[in-house]
Amino acid sequence: MIIDKIAVILVACIVLIFLAIMYVKKQAIENLVMISFLSFFIGLYIPFTYYEMYIPLYIHIPVLIFGVILPIIIVLLQYNNIMVSSKLLYRNAQKLYKKKKYDETIQELQKLINIEGKKSEYLYLLGKCYAEKNDYLNARDCFALAIDLNKEDYLSYYELGCVLESTEKTDSAIMMFNKALALKKDMYEAYEALGICLASKGRYQEAIKIYNEGIQNCENSCELYYNLAVLQMHLNLLEPALNNLKIAVSIDDTLEEAHYNIANIRYLKGEYDVALSEYKKVTKNTEYSEKAYYKIAMIYAIQKEYEKALTIIEYLIESDASYMERIGDEIVFNPMKEQINTLFLTRSKILQEEMEEKEYVSKNKKKSHKKKKFQEKIEEESQHEKEIKQEVIEKPNIFNKKLR
């Protein structure tokens, strides 16, 4: 019937107007799609109504669903401030952050803030982006504002503490980490950061207390056991340090810095076989490889396995010549002094030859460059002379033409 069609068109027009208003006011991006679809739907429906044309049921139902019912649902969601576009924008911002596209994430979050106003979760993510960009001033302001909006936001307390620590405001950072832990007792990151801050201020006993408290609340945190062990080693408490390092590697056997420190304690206690086994576990690690090989060479020397020690010493001085001085001063290598000196002389000759070769190549490059410049200059002058000769040849011809 014509009345039904007119009613549908009126409803669609009202929905269209509301969607347009909401797009202008709140920048609801999904409204653009619905506005385009509704405009097409209304434009198509008017001729059918005017000429009283029959619309088949299989067309009528999808049109009513996508042209009237779905837009009305979106209108109701937006009327009740359940913004579909805001959620999409926030999810997109989170995806961009995971991809480390911080500038694009900031743009998305600023759109969200313009639409819905400032919210703690938006400001937290915004602060994280600024922190990743080392813009600590903006990061600090974002986290501080997030806390003002939500006093229970322990993540913002923690991140604000990290920013303050990065800007060397350690006392303020300690306060923030404590506030984060007051809200969330099992936040091992805050325990770890707080312990580091306290240790940097020389407050070792307080740091140990914090790590012990953290271990009680976060039993499976190998980082807390490791950090506690490092502090205990610093205070020469080797036995408790060794126990905590063992627990750390039992939680995560790939924690190579823990294996390296276990080896150091075993070495200090004279347990060379165990130390040797632990040092070998970190020889593939770029940070600890050479340090571990140096200690292995010392153990072989102590155990009078001089050939093995010499092989490692040769490798060390080839990879880093600065080890020659350290090895020369080490008492445990005295029984191998003659063989080590031979290695040093051979290595020194090789280094000298490499240096001379570099100097030779460098000089040749300079000479080659000068020759090239000289050749280019000669070629330019030759070309110039050719041009002058050509002019001399051409001018008489022109003059002769004029005479004729």
Task: Write the DSSP assignment of 353-388 as a string of letters.
Answer: HHHHHHHHHHHHHHHHHHHHHHHHHHHHHHHHHHHH
pLDDT digits (tens, 9 = 90+) for 169-217: 999 999 999 999 999 999 999 999 999 999 999 999 999 999 999 999 9
Q: How far is CA 129 from the centre of its chain?
A: 11
Q: Which of 233, 259, 263 is nearest to 248 (CA)?
A: 259
**Of residues 155 and 33, which shows the higher confidence score?**
155
Q: Is 390's pLDDT higher than 60?
A: no
pLDDT at residue 403 in the model: 36
Q: Are 196 and 214 in contact (CB under 8 A)?
A: no
Residues of the chain above pLDDT 90, percent:
50
Q: How far is CA 65 from the centre of its chain?
A: 46
Q: Are 370 and 378 in contact (CB under 8 A)?
A: no
How many angstroms separate the CA atoms of 281 and 191, rounded? 28
Q: Does pTM surpass 0.75?
A: no
Q: Is 267's pLDDT higher than 50?
A: yes
DSSP 120-137: HHHHHHHHHHHHHTT-HH
Where do the H-state alpha helices sit in 70-221? 70-79, 84-98, 102-116, 120-132, 136-149, 154-166, 170-183, 188-200, 204-217
pLDDT at residue 268 in the model: 93
Amino acid at 122: Y
